[in-house]
Amino acid sequence: MAFLEWKCTTLYTSDVELLKSPAWFNDNIINFCCDYMQYVLFNDKPYKFVHPGTSFVILHESHDAADLKDTVEGSGINREKSLIFFPVNDSQNLTKPGGSHWSLLVWERKTEMFYVFDSMSVTGNSSAHKLAEKTECKFFWLQQKKISK
């Protein structure tokens, strides 16, 4: 049963239960956070808070550049934003939800750099790094490869 329906998010009681100790986040909780930041906290800023499902699709999308371009443009991801936030899960399973770790990839227009925020300090091999590389390659957002940690 739905606990809350708002913007692009439906939170279920089972999602909210995850916030009790030991406090796990899932896609729905992060979707809600992205919507809240996009439409309430920073609605007057040129920021984009990408839903985790969209980050996952971009990361794992086939090599069909046209489909990938449609996904990105349809999500409002573009160079006009001064900051773009991509929540990234380490799940590799394309058929069901999962994963055990979240990180955050942020693209900053001013520096034209990606920044990875990862509490596990995984260097170079994380899903966030792969997403940055894939986004950079597919859409030629950056003039040269710039990924910072």
The domain locations on the chain are 1-44, 48-148
- The answer to whether 42 and 84 have CB atoms below 8 angstroms apart is no
| pLDDT exceeds cutoff 70 at 133 | yes
| Per-residue pLDDT band at 35 (split at 50, 70, 90) | very high
- pTM score: 0.83
| Per-residue pLDDT band at 144 (split at 50, 70, 90) | very low
Q: Which range, 3-12, 40-49, 52-61, 124-133, is most confident?
A: 40-49
| Per-residue pLDDT band at 99 (split at 50, 70, 90) | confident
- What does pLDDT average to over the chain? 82
Q: What is the pLDDT of residue 21?
A: 87
pLDDT-above-90 percentage for the chain: 32
Residue bearing the bigger pLDDT, 53 or 42: 42
| pLDDT exceeds cutoff 60 at 142 | no
Q: What is the pLDDT of residue 108?
A: 92
pLDDT-above-70 percentage for the chain: 83
Q: What CATH superfamily is the domain 48-148?
A: Adenoviral Proteinase; Chain A (3.40.395.10)
Average pLDDT rounded to a whole number, residues 19-37: 91
